[in-house]
Structure 1
């Protein structure tokens, strides 16, 4: 059985009942303190001066006025004033914790006035002490209430700030996922478009080639769907687990460059893959960044330089990894590098900057186009990336 935390009203009710019990027990000491013995009306006033505290969270000003009124009647009747001090003091603290300074000051002044009135009614010989106590207790209660109110305000501001920060992070994550979707869809749809055109062109004259193109379309579309599912799953699940409880497949990395190159070859672009250095596991984000940049570069070749030859180079260094994609096409043409930079080129630069790398994108002096990305594999060098133009 789960025990839920008590509601504030239940807590306030318990506090009010406890204060009533303490006041009643204290009232039994009235005679020993030189005051009249409490009778039925006196005990009723004691209850009225404390029990309304149970509603202090709902109507603090009304409760403060009610307990003060009961206290004044009790004091005027000539009973021991100390018995009815707990309820008014707690009511003042409550008002100070939820209301502004002007309202709180008026309530504190009223408590001081009632306290001093009790001193006059009892004909106390130490009025200076009574006034000092009234001022001291009221000031302390006001201060504690003010601190509680400020703490609550700061907590609300902090929650609002955290909610705003979370909203910005969600927006940034959605933007990153949008770029991921662009990369996946653009590359795979380019391959599918090329293969579909080839299949239609040779459908009657070369059925074997047409079947091969259709097979490539089926494999490429299946892989695209798998990657889309993985990214949508990242948005829906925090633990990256499939519905059957098994771990989700990892996002593509450098180990899958060979498959990527094969798909581009099947699209009609001769591509050579060269690897230097000893392959080693890298941070998932670094591998995904490098993979996506190569994918985007090859997609651009499929779109704009289909008759060129391409080379993909991967170099593993001690503290960084470098990937380059070059082709021997006709270089820059208007559609290849749009005036605004293109979503693909922007995505490359943003990825490089995100992981502290450098990237150069542009035509080669000997003809063709080149993309070169360098990513640090050490956390000490991450975050210092920039971009250049070849």
Structure 2
């Protein structure tokens, strides 16, 4: 929505649909006003000697001038035109106007208050035109003082209606601003939820990759050690077989500890459900024990370092550790390593 579209929408805005209660109230108001006006005008208390005697025509014009207020909120400008036409008709046929001016007053207020901004200006122009025509027709029961009072009354009604309209429009602006703010907050919350969902998905993928690396490496080492232990038992070398079985146990324990650590990321607190502490995330410093375990599993491996070790961010250290671990795991799978060998200390 652009800054210039709002005024156009305000000018051409249709009148909101009325509820049955509002329609019933407007109809009741019209009936009461018509009844009072006819009672006063037919009684002759507002008539002068030059007025026409009440008849069917004056009654119809009176009903038109006052009864049209039943449509004041549904068709504000049309209601004003009908009310003014009824009063001007009474002036033209020299009928008693009297209380019939209630209709134009109510219709003018409604046209300025409930109509669009464009129709409000048209309503004011219509009132001015009707007053001018009334003066030109020279009503027999309207003195100059009465004309001034009627003009001032219409001016007061229009000012009151304009003030009411301004307050209503200000309230509507506040409501629209609040609705826009609610919409923005809802959209912002949706974006945050999507971001949190994406982050959670990425975290789950990371944990999945970590579990794959941990379990793959541990299972490869355990398979090699188990095969070696079985052959050692056949050669009646229980001591070396016991070493292989112990290494299987240690590898399993380390794998379980790393799995608890990874799964603990999605939990609150610093320990697992059984109270055991989580294993720290592997770093480059854990490469030496990794190489030693692979050697003990039967794959000769040597770790060579050049230069002075530098501290790296945890994420980079973990990535490097997993890369080396995956490479060693693949070597264990495809090298036919089957005999545990005494650990060889990596050279520096």
Closer, same or farther: CA 104–64 of 1 in aligned 2, 3 Å: closer
Structure 2 residue runs of 5 or longer lacking an equivalent are: 1-17, 224-248, 288-308, 318-348
Which residue of structure 1 aligns with residue 126 of structure 2? Answer: 107
Separation in structure 2 between the aligned mates of residue 329 and residue 184 of structure 1, nearest angstrom: 32
Post-superposition Cα deviations, 1:168-201, rounded to whole Å, max 9, x if no partner, equal 2123323333443345344444333212222233
| SS of aligned partner of 2:20 | coil
2:101 is matched with: 85
Shift of 1:108: 2.5
- Alpha-carbon offset, residue 259 of structure 1: 4.2
Secondary structure, counterpart of 1:121 in structure 2: coil
Task: State the match for 1:66 in structure 2.
Answer: 82
Contact 1:111 1:138 in 2 (8 A): no
C-alpha distance 185-21 of structure 1, shift in aligned 2 (>3 A) = same
1:170 to 154, 163, 186: 186
Q: Report the CA distance shift for 1:330/1:211 in structure 2 as closer, same or farther (over 3 A).
A: closer
TM-score (norm 2): 0.57
Query: Separation in 2 of the partners of 1:264 and 1:111?
Result: 92
CA contact (8 A) 2:83 2:103 kept: yes
More helix by share: 2
Match of 1:17 among 10, 22, 31: 31
Match among 133, 137, 152 for residue 136 of structure 1: 152
Displacement of 1:58: 2.9
Deviation string, structure 1 residues 227-284 (Cα, Å, up to 9, x no partner): xxxxxxxxxxxxxxxxxxxxxxxxx76xx34349x8993xxx52xxxxxxxxxxxxxx
Question: Taking structure 1 as the reference length, what is the TM-score of the superposition?
Answer: 0.52
Question: 2:140: which partner in 1?
Answer: 122
How many residues get paired?
A: 246
Could you tell me which residue of structure 2 aligns to residue 286 of structure 1?
A: none
Q: CA RMSD in A?
A: 4.1
- Indicate the structure with greater strand content: 1
Q: Which has the higher contact order (CA 8 A, sep 6+)?
A: 2
How far apart are residue 202 of structure 1 and its match? 3.1
Maintained 8 Å contact 1:67/1:87? yes
CA distance 1:18–1:257, change in 2 (3 Å): farther
Corresponding residue of 1:319: none
Larger Rg: 2
Structure 2 equivalent of residue 331 of structure 1 = 312
Deviation at 1:30, TM superposition (A): 1.6
Which ranges in structure 1 are unaligned for 5 or more consecutive residues? Answer: 225-251, 271-300, 309-327, 337-390
